[in-house]
């Protein structure tokens, strides 16, 4: 018999079609936690994105569940401990959006450094603010990459293509690792003090929550900028707002927020920011890959069982 898969968040149609080749698939979006607790009893596999919170209660009531697939990066919306206790495999597709996120980081950085967002909005208002919008080149600047996984390495490659020098920090890398990737290794606080551009590519954990706070921002160059397209909460938003408001640093590009949407965030009031609504994985290619990669991992799970 075919396994039954419940998909509780929207994934690309191509991924759904591929899942239907080997499984019976039901689409049930916008389920309440209570509805999912009841619904999950009949399924061997569950596919979610970030919208569905797979809690301990849901997992405990999943009588047949063998695998949970998260279409995208991160597993913070799944109770991994509860899944482990029931020997339920958990897979995701962090590789799916690597290029999309890396390109967004560079695009946001260029917009910030060259005032593209201000030039666009002022011109649409009938102004010609050419003399007010002098920016800076990326060439010759130092980029600091915190977190040197897939995305961090892709960002570093693109930064070097613009003639930037790249410094890297990752708790799992050595100076030799950095040299092999055409970067220089720095300890975290040393890197933060030295760079012109700081970009973050670490998961949100208890260790990384608030990693960039007032003390670390104040140690940066006055004309430095921060890019966060990783997870909201890694940069303390209140501390970042105060630093930007007081010109402690030049600017920031933020794609992820502590609360999404960021209603009432003081960052929305600032001019020295480029803000985007969590667009890191929002390309057609990444959306297809996020779903199809997870579906393939689920297919292999049942094939190998």
| H helix or E strand, kind and range, residue 175 | helix 175-180
Q: What's the CATH architecture for 136-271?
A: 3-Layer(aba) Sandwich (3.40)
Q: What is the pLDDT of residues 21-65, one digit of tens each?
A: 999 999 999 999 999 999 999 999 999 998 999 999 999 999 999
Q: Mean pLDDT score of the chain, rounded to an integer?
A: 96
Burial class of residue 225, CB neighbours in 10 A (0-12, 13-18, 19+): buried
Alpha helices in 195-283 (DSSP H): 214-218, 237-245
CB atoms within 10 A of CB 277: 11
Q: Please, what's the b/e burial string for 155-173 (b: 16 or more CB within 10 A of its CB; e: otherwise)?
A: bbebbeeeebbbbbbbeeb
C-beta separation of 253 from 228 below 8 A: yes
Supply the pLDDT for residue 50. Answer: 86
Angle at 158 between CA 95 and CA 291, to 5 degrees: 20
CATH H superfamily, domain 4-93+284-304: NAD(P)-binding Rossmann-like Domain (3.40.50.720)
Supply the pLDDT for residue 73. Answer: 82
Q: In this model, does residue 305 exceed pLDDT 80?
A: no
C-beta separation of 101 from 281 below 8 A: yes
Q: Please, what's the b/e burial string for 199-224 (b: 16 or more CB within 10 A of its CB; e: otherwise)?
A: bbbbbbeeebebbbeeebbeebbeeb
**197 DSSP β-pair partners:** 143, 225
Q: Residue 67: helix, strand or coil by DSSP? A: strand
Query: Can you state the percent helix, strand and coil of the chain, rounding each to 5?
Result: 40, 15, 40
Burial class of residue 10, CB neighbours in 10 A (0-12, 13-18, 19+): middle
Q: In this model, does residue 122 exceed pLDDT 90?
A: yes
Q: In this model, does residue 175 exceed pLDDT 80?
A: yes
C-beta separation of 272 from 246 below 8 A: no
Alpha helices in 96-149 (DSSP H): 98-114, 116-124
Catalytic positions: 231, 260, 278
| H helix or E strand, kind and range, residue 295 | helix 284-304
Supply the pLDDT for residue 1. Answer: 85
Q: In this model, does residue 159 exceed pLDDT 80?
A: yes
Q: Place 74 in a pLDDT band, splitting at 50, 70 and 90.
A: confident
Q: In this model, does residue 155 exceed pLDDT 80?
A: yes
Supply the pLDDT for residue 164. Answer: 98
Supply the pLDDT for residue 120. Answer: 97
Q: Place 166 in a pLDDT band, splitting at 50, 70 and 90.
A: very high
Q: Residue 78: helix, strand or coil by DSSP? A: strand
Q: What is the pLDDT of residues 247-300, one digit of tens each?
A: 999 999 999 999 999 999 999 999 999 999 999 999 999 999 999 999 999 999
Quote the DSSP letter at residue 56: H
Residues forming CATH 3.40.50.720 domain(s) in the chain:
4-93+284-304, 136-271
Q: Place 236 in a pLDDT band, splitting at 50, 70 and 90.
A: very high
Rounded Cα distance between 130 and 117, Å, is 13
């Amino acid at each position: 018999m075919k396994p039954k898969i419940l998909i509780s968040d929207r994934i690309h149609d191509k991924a759904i079609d591929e899942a239907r080749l080997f499984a019976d698939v039901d689409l049930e979006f916008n389920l309440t936690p209570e509805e999912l607790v009841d619904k999950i009893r009949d399924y061997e596999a569950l596919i979610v994105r970030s919208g569905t919170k797979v809690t301990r209660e849901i997992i405990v009531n999943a009588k047949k569940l063998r695998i949970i697939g998260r279409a995208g990066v991160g597993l913070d919306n799944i109770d991994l401990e509860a899944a482990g206790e029931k020997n339920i495999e958990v897979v995701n597709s962090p590789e799916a959006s690597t290029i999309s996120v890396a390109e967004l980081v560079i695009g946001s950085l260029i917009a910030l450094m060259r005032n593209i967002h201000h030039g666009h909005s002022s011109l649409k208002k009938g102004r010609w603010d050419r003399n007010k919008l002098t920016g800076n080149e990326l060439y010759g600047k130092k980029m600091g990459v915190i977190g040197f996984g897939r995305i961090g390495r892709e960002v570093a490659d693109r930064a070097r293509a613009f003639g930037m020098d790249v410094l890297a920090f990752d708790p799992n890398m050595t100076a030799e690792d950095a040299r092999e990737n055409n970067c220089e290794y720095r300890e975290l606080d040393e890197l933060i003090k030295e760079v012109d551009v700081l970009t973050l590519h670490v998961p949100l954990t208890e260790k990384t929550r608030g990693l960039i706070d007032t003390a670390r921002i104040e140690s940066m160059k006055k004309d430095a900028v921060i890019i966060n397209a990783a997870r909201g909460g890694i940069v303390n938003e209140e501390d970042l707002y105060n630093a930007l408001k007081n010109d402690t640093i030049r600017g920031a590009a933020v794609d992820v927020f502590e609360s999404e949407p960021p209603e009432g965030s003081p960052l929305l009031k600032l001019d020295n920011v480029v803000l985007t609504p969590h667009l890191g994985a929002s390309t057609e290619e990444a959306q297809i890959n996020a779903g199809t990669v997870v579906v393939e991992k689920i297919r292999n799970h049942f094939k190998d069982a």
